């Protein structure tokens, strides 16, 4: 998978992040494209088999290859080769993204809003932090994530707090938007009641508001990592009405492009 292949995969399956890659500085694009393409593969890996053991073995394969990159071992793989070229040994830290997907291999629903928030903190938040690192480049003012836990007190700068809050809020909203499909895969909620969905939406709104209130701490060059895409507001408004309401709020392609165009002009990532 060349960078062009990564771009085509993102265009087809993750159009919001594809758009962000196009808006990012040229020097950051290889890192962003390979990171987001890896995220796609890791999300698919546990769903490739209905047998939990086989699904987990697929994730373990990715973890071991990422560790190999960290050890300097050459890669002959369509995605891992450009990933290693873009990130070097730092790519080993992405194993945290694969580890977070292990529970998906079991195809077990989440046990309530707190479990959903924990899942998002383990998946969407570190992905966003790594994207911010790609955008930061060699510039100062932003501490890269700790691969053992993404954030530590020593590294928890003002920008990192904003990123964590925005990423969790956006991640919760995206999880809600995907819930009708996730429920059919066994990855939704044991109790997908309107009350539970409303609590998740409330938490998402609170985290987005927190990020907005602290936006002055966010360097402008990192803003693309926080772009929420289109339709966040509609998702959060629909969630308290139940899963059926969520099924009808997917934004149109026009709305997606309009949101991306607005961000390109204003760099306004907050809700």
Q: Which residue(s) pair with 122 in the sheet?
A: none
CA pair distance 63, 74, nearest whole angstrom: 15
Q: How far is CA 247 from CA 67, 179, 225, in A?
A: 39, 8, 26
Q: Which residue(s) pair with 146 in the sheet?
A: 150
pLDDT (tens digit, 9 = 90+) per residue, 115-159?
Answer: 999 999 999 999 999 999 999 974 444 555 554 444 444 455 789
* 180 pLDDT above the threshold of 90: yes
Query: SS3 of 139, please?
Result: coil
pLDDT (tens digit, 9 = 90+) per residue, 4-56?
Answer: 889 999 999 999 999 999 999 999 999 999 999 999 999 999 998 889 999 99
Q: Do residues 10 and 37 lie in contact, with contact meaning Cβ atoms separated by under 8 Å?
A: yes
The pLDDT value recorded for residue 140 is 44
* 177 pLDDT above the threshold of 80: yes
The pLDDT value recorded for residue 143 is 54
Q: How far is CA 196 from CA 181, 192, 203, 243, in A?
A: 17, 6, 11, 10
CA pair distance 87, 35, nearest whole angstrom: 9
The pLDDT value recorded for residue 88 is 95
The pLDDT value recorded for residue 138 is 46
* Per-residue buried b or exposed e for 59-68, using 16+ beta carbons within 10 Å of the residue's own CB: beebbebbeb
The pLDDT value recorded for residue 127 is 97
The pLDDT value recorded for residue 152 is 45
pLDDT (tens digit, 9 = 90+) per residue, 233-270?
Answer: 999 999 999 999 999 999 999 999 999 999 999 999 99
Percent above pLDDT 70 for the chain: 93
Q: First CA to last CA across the chain, in angstroms?
A: 35
């Amino acid at each position: 998978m060349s960078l062009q292949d990564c771009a085509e995969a993102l265009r087809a399956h993750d159009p919001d992040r594809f758009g962000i890659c196009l808006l990012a500085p040229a020097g950051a694009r290889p890192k962003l494209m390979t990171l987001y393409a890896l995220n796609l593969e890791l999300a698919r890996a546990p769903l490739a088999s209905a047998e939990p053991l086989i699904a987990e073995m697929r994730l373990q394969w990715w973890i071991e290859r990422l560790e190999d990159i960290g050890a300097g071992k050459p890669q002959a793989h369509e995605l891992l080769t450009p990933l290693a070229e873009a990130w070097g040994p730092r790519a080993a830290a992405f194993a945290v993204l694969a580890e977070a997907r292990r529970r998906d291999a079991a195809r077990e629903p989440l046990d309530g809003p707190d479990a959903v928030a924990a899942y998002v903190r383990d998946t969407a938040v570190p992905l966003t932090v790594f994207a911010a690192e790609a955008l930061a480049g060699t510039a100062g003012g932003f501490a890269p994530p700790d691969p053992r836990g993404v954030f530590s007190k020593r590294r928890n700068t003002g920008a990192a707090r904003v990123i964590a809050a925005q990423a969790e809020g956006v991640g919760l909203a995206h999880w809600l938007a995907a819930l009708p499909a996730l429920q059919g895969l066994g990855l939704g909620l044991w109790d997908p009641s309107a009350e539970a969905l409303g609590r998740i939406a409330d938490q998402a709104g609170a985290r987005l508001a927190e990020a907005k209130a602290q936006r002055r701490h966010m360097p402008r060059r990192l803003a693309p990592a926080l772009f929420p895409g289109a339709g966040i507001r509609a998702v959060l408004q629909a969630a308290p009405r139940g899963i059926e309401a969520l099924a009808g709020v997917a934004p149109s392609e026009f709305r997606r492009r309009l949101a991306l165009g607005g961000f390109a002009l204003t760099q306004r990532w907050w809700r």
